[in-house]
Amino acid sequence: MSQYQDDIQAIANLKVAQGSAWDAINPESTARMKAQNRFQTGLDIARYTAGIMRADMDAYDQDSSKYTQSLGCWHGFIGQQKMISIKKHFDNTDRRYLYLSGWMVAALRSDFGPLPDQSMHEKTSVSALIEELYTFLRQADARELGGLFRALDAAREANDATEQKVIQAKIDGFVTHVVPIIADIDAGFGNAEATYLLAKRMIEAGACCIQLENQVSDEKQCGHQDGKVTVPHEDFLGKIRAVRYAFLELGVDDGVIVARTDSLGAGLTKQIAVTSTPGDLGDQYNSFLDCDEVTTADLNNGDVVLNRDGTLVRPKRLPSNLFQFRSGTGEDRCVLDSITALQNGADLLWIETEKPHVSQIGGMVSRIREVIPNAKLVYNNSPSFNWTLNFRQQVFDAMSAAGDDVSAYVRADLMQESYDGSALAATADEKIRTFQADSAREAGIFHHLITLPTYHTAALSTDNLAKEYFGDQGMLGYVAGVQRKEIRQGIACVKHQNMAGSDLGDDHKEYFSGDAALKASGKDNTMNQFG
């Protein structure tokens, strides 16, 4: 028997035991409500999705074509519509997640108003968005199952046994909209205790995967901006352990930690690492500092000096009281960061690069895999990259290196629309199309995400509507540009009352009040115009 049938029987037995006071309780109605509320707490979700993510990681280790993907979503409705769309187009949610971007929380969800990606927003707004996303995904489950239940009732009324079997199979094999969320905790919003407390809130809200970066918490910058300041490894490892303890405390034993290093683009540190023996982790961190050899006679008031192999060296300290790393050490620091994180409890890596270049990413991953053979990346397919220009320039450079004629192109101007029909542009677009598969195969990228896509899509669609509706097209701007496309593309929220839960409410009214229920879905409901 299916879980649905088991629940009907169990509730029927309970009804008998309760006697006549429960005569109005319908076991099948109750079973339907249970099916529509499969995940009763955020921890239920975290445990379920952690299992999915671990299985996906194992599958990728066996076959790099089985990489995973996500899009950043800044509101529950956006996440819900994304997953409804995925189920509509692909029939399942396999290897497709959600990403919660700290950037978008700062820019769109802070009570302070729009903020840059500098951890200035309220820390609890992160866990609140996780909870909101899962509330909307659970509602998507309830809505779709409600439609199947109504269809089952209609098939029964028509005495169509074949259709009943088809619909019952869909109910029994229902694919949930609930998928893993990779949630951005920035640099932890304070010390390790603060990181632990916020991680707990995020896990309780449903997060099975937390991304943590190695910047100084109170100096945090967007990964694609300048002025990033990293911390010594022990500071970062303390926060990784804090997140792991939070997972274990809450019973999410296979929770996933993504360690993000910004070292490739970070030239500064706030601290000199503690070191006790040559070659230890602190000494390795300090070895990248930009230093001058000095004698005691060279020292100025307040100078900080290090003993490096018996030689006094003075790290270069800026007026900001930050210390500077040697130029050109970013990749080496990034590799060391990554190896150290994986050796100390992290599960996945995030390397923030300045451009989407498979060979660059793959070169670093190869070095990491010399030590950690199954090292895997989460990679930001960032909107901060000009993808068109980057890939056209990569193709231009490859053509030049091969001795091909590039006289028809100006490298600096390759973004121009006039190049769109060129052979170079076509080659670049094909490389963009296959970037995820190529880098999954050649650069160890397990998970591809776009951090801020729905920030941009919301702005673009609003611009298109405003231009038409407030211009010459008037109401046709909405009808032709939005509604007609919704209907023809089968966008579920064209029936916006249904999407908001009107039919679910009607079902419950019928359960609670029977024939006395005052329902909204009668013949005069305008949503009936949409089929």
Q: Is the pLDDT of residue 10 over 70?
A: yes
Q: Using CA atoms, how far apart are residues 456 and 104, in angstroms rounded to an integer?
A: 11
Going by the DSSP 8-state scheme, the letter that residue 349 receives in this structure is E
Which strands sit side by side in the sheet containing 229-230, from one edge to the other? 229-230, 268-269, 323-324
Q: Which residues are catalytic?
A: 222
Contact 93, 87 (CB under 8 A): yes
Q: Which of 111-125, 183-197, 355-369, 509-523 has the lowest mean pLDDT?
A: 509-523
Contact 184, 133 (CB under 8 A): no
Q: Quick one: fold of 37-289+325-451?
A: TIM Barrel (3.20.20)
pLDDT of residue 119: 81
Query: What is the pLDDT confidence band of residue 270, given thresholds at 50, 70 and 90?
Result: confident
User: What residue segments make up the domains of the chain, in order of their start?
Assistant: 1-36, 37-289+325-451, 456-497
pLDDT of residue 219: 72
Q: Is the pLDDT of residue 529 over 90?
A: no
Q: Is the pLDDT of residue 521 over 80?
A: no
Which amino acid, residue 213?
Answer: E
Find, among 139, 189, 69, the residue nearest to 200 by Cα: 189
pLDDT of residue 419: 97
Query: What is the pLDDT confidence band of residue 74, given thresholds at 50, 70 and 90?
Result: very high
pLDDT of residue 527: 61
- Average pLDDT taken over every residue of the chain: 93
Q: Measured between alpha carbons, how far is residue 327 from residues 14, 315, 470 in Å?
A: 72, 13, 52
pLDDT of residue 302: 84
Pairing status of strand 256-261 against strand 96-100: unpaired
Q: Is the pLDDT of residue 34 over 90?
A: yes
Pairing status of strand 311-315 against strand 306-308: antiparallel
pLDDT of residue 507: 84
pLDDT mean over 80-88: 96
Q: Is the pLDDT of residue 223 over 80?
A: no
Find, among 252, 188, 193, the residue nearest to 214 by Cα: 188
pLDDT mean over 266-275: 91
pLDDT of residue 525: 65
Q: Measured between alpha carbons, how far is residue 246 from residues 101, 184, 240, 252, 415 in Å?
A: 21, 15, 10, 9, 47
pTM surpassing 0.85? Answer: yes
Q: Which residue has the tokens 């035991």?
A: 17
Q: Is the pLDDT of residue 409 over 90?
A: yes
Q: Is the pLDDT of residue 138 over 80?
A: yes
Q: Using CA atoms, how far apart are residues 201 and 183, in angstroms rounded to an integer?
A: 12
Q: What is the separation, in whole angstroms, between the first and last Cα of the chain?
A: 34
